[in-house]
Amino acid sequence: MSTPKSQSRRNFLKSTVTLVGASAVAGTAPALWTTAAAAQTLRIGFISPLTGALAGFGECNPHLIKLAQDALKAGIRLGDQTYAIEILMKDTQSDPNRAAELARQLITSDKVDLMLSCSAPETVNPVADACEAAGVPSVSTTVPWEAFYFGRGAKPGAPSPFKWTYHFAFGTAQFAQCYISKWNGAVKTNGKVGVLYPNDADGNAVRANLLPALVKAGFIVIDPGAYEDGTTDYSAQIARFKQENVEIINTFPLPPDFAVFWRQAAQQGLTKKIKIIETGKTGLFASQIQAMGALGLNMTAGAPWHPAFPYSSPLTGLSSKQLADGYESASGRQWTLQIGQTMALIDVGVAALKAAGNPASKEEVAKAISKLRLTTTMGELDWTKGPVPNCVSTPIIGIQWSKPKQSKFSVDAHVVDNACDRNVPIGAPLVSYSS
C-alpha cells in the first residue's frame, strides 16, 4: 500500500493507522510513519522475507522497524531543514521474482529515496539489480559479499559496474577463518570434510572461494558436486560421505533442504560418525534447531551476530544484548541472529541520509554511502576499505546450539570461536556433535 506525497496529512495518518491495524491481523509488516512536522518526507523501502522458506531471517524485522520508527518520530534535522522518515516494509515470501517486483513497485509507485534489503541472494540480488537499473541508492546485508558482488556480474580486478548498490556482510574469508580456527580446536577429527553446496548463488560462491582455503589449511575436502535447491533424496551424497569416513560436514542449503538431508543422514547412520556439523544459511535460528529435535543439539554455525557482540545501535542507543532482550520481551520469541544485521542495516540507511548534503538527492545519498564509516551492532563498517568497491566485510563468529542451563527456551546458542573478532567473548568450549 502506498501513500502519495500529495495526500493530506489527515488522510495520510488515517490510512496509515488502518494499515497498521490490518497488518497486525494479517501478520505482514506495515508501512511505518512518523509524526514529525517536516517540509519533506524521505521514504525508505525495506524488503525482506517474512514468510516462506527464508522466513526465519525476517522474523525480527517488524520489531526492529518499530524501534526505528520510535527513534525517528521527530524526524532528522539537517541544517535548518527537518525531514520526516517513512519506512515501507515488504514481504518477498521468499520468492526472488516477487523481490524484484516489490523493488520496482517501491521505486516507481512509492518513489522511495533509499532501498534497504536483507537475507539471502534470493532477496538481495534481484532488489539490488532493480535499484541499479533505476538509479536508486540501495544498501543490503546477510549475503556473502562475493555472492552479491560477483554473483551480479562484477569481475575480479575490474572496476565496479555498480554505482547505486552497496552491501555489508561476511565473506568466504571470514567463514574460512572461523571454520579453520574452530575445526582445529578442542574437538579432534580426521580432517575429512564432506561439503554439501547447492547450485545457487550462495553455494557457487562458497565452493569457488571457501574450498581452496580449506584445502590450503590441510583439510581433505569430499565434494560430491552441486545439487539443485529442493532436492528430496540425498542418499548418494550420504553414501559418499560414509565411504570416505568424513567427520566434519559443511553445508549452505535452504533451511527445508537441510532438514531433509540431515534426517536422511540420521536414518542412514551418518550422523553417528560426525564430530562437527557446520551449517550456513540454515541452523542460524532457534526455531530451526527446535524443529530438528535431538538432531539439532550440538550443531554449529558461523554466525554474523550474537547478543554477546559488544557493540550498540547508534540510532536507538541500545546494546546488542538490550536489542536481543527487548525482542524477546516484546515478541515472546527467542532472539535471532538477524537482529544485529537488520539493526545495522537501518542504522546505515539513516546515517547515509544524514551524511548526504541533500538527502532528497539520490546521487548524493549514493555518494554518501560510498564514503560512510559507522560503528553499528556489527562493529565498524567502512566503505572506503573494501574488500572490493561497494562492499564491506563483517566478521563470522562460531556458535554451537545446546540445551541451556537457565532459560525459558529449549535451546540456545553460545559463542565457541571468536577468531574473526576477539572483542566478542567466548561463552563455552566446542563439543563433539556425536558425543
- The rounded average pLDDT for each run of 10 residues, N- to C-terminus, in the chain (435 residues) is 37 32 37 53 97 92 96 91 96 97 98 96 96 98 94 94 97 94 96 96 88 96 96 98 98 92 97 96 87 94 96 98 97 94 98 95 98 97 96 97 85 96 97 90
Residue count (the chain): 435
Q: What pLDDT score was predicted for residue 31?
A: 46
Closest CA to 398 of 379, 380, 421, 381: 421
DSSP-assigned states of every residue in 96-128: HHHHHHHHHHHHHTS--SEEEEESSHHHHHHHH
DSSP assignment letter at 281: S
- 8 A C-beta contact, residue 261 and residue 205: no
- Terminus-to-terminus CA distance in the chain, angstroms? 52
H-helix or E-strand containing 289? helix 286-291
Distance, CA of 365 to CA of 363 (rounded, Å): 6
* Beta-sheet strands, E only, within 36-109: 40-48, 76-78, 81-91
Distance, CA of 182 to CA of 184 (rounded, Å): 5
Q: What pLDDT score was predicted for residue 5?
A: 39
Domains of the chain, by residue range, sit at 9-170+308-393, 173-303+403-417
Structure pTM? 0.85
User: Which fold is adopted by the domain 173-303+403-417?
Assistant: Rossmann fold (3.40.50)
Strand 40-48 versus strand 81-91 pairing type? parallel
What residue spans of 119-161 are helical by DSSP H? 121-134, 145-149
Distance, CA of 326 to CA of 319 (rounded, Å): 10
Distance, CA of 8 to CA of 104 (rounded, Å): 25
Instruction: Tell me whether the CATH fold assigned to 9-170+308-393 matches the one assigned to 173-303+403-417.
Output: yes
Q: What is the CATH number of domain 9-170+308-393?
A: 3.40.50.2300
- 8 A C-beta contact, residue 31 and residue 16: yes
